[in-house]
Amino acid sequence: MAGVRDQLGLAVAGAGGEIPYTLVGRHRRIRLVDLRQYLREGDAHCKDAADELIELDQELGLT
């Protein structure tokens, strides 16, 4: 998938176990569906954090 480095897949699948994978020999195989779901969840988390910062900014009268 364009824009996704091998290291991302290894870090997420291997260390955290956040994306399921299968081993083929010594190589991890991540299903595209699982990767897309993981990326969507990350985008949603970032959007929620940005919305919270905007709300705090308005509460404090910084805008």
At 7-28, the pLDDT tens digits run 666 666 655 677 888 888 887 7
CA distance 6 to 32: 13
44 or 12, higher pLDDT: 44
Residue 1 lies in a domain: no
21 contacts: CB under 8 Å, gap ≥ 6: 9, 13, 28, 29, 30, 34
User: Above 60 in pLDDT, residue 31?
Assistant: yes
Q: Which amino acid is at 39?
A: L
Residue 50, domain member (yes or no): yes
Q: CA quadruple 13, 19, 24, 27: dihedral positive or negative?
A: negative
Q: 32 in a domain, yes or no?
A: yes
Is the pTM higher than 0.85? The answer reads: no
- How many domains does one find in the chain? 1
pLDDT confidence bin for 60, thresholds 50/70/90: very high
**Cα separations (Å) of 8 from 20, 52, 56?**
13, 27, 32
State the residue range of the domain holding 18: 6-59
Question: pLDDT at position 52, please?
Answer: 96
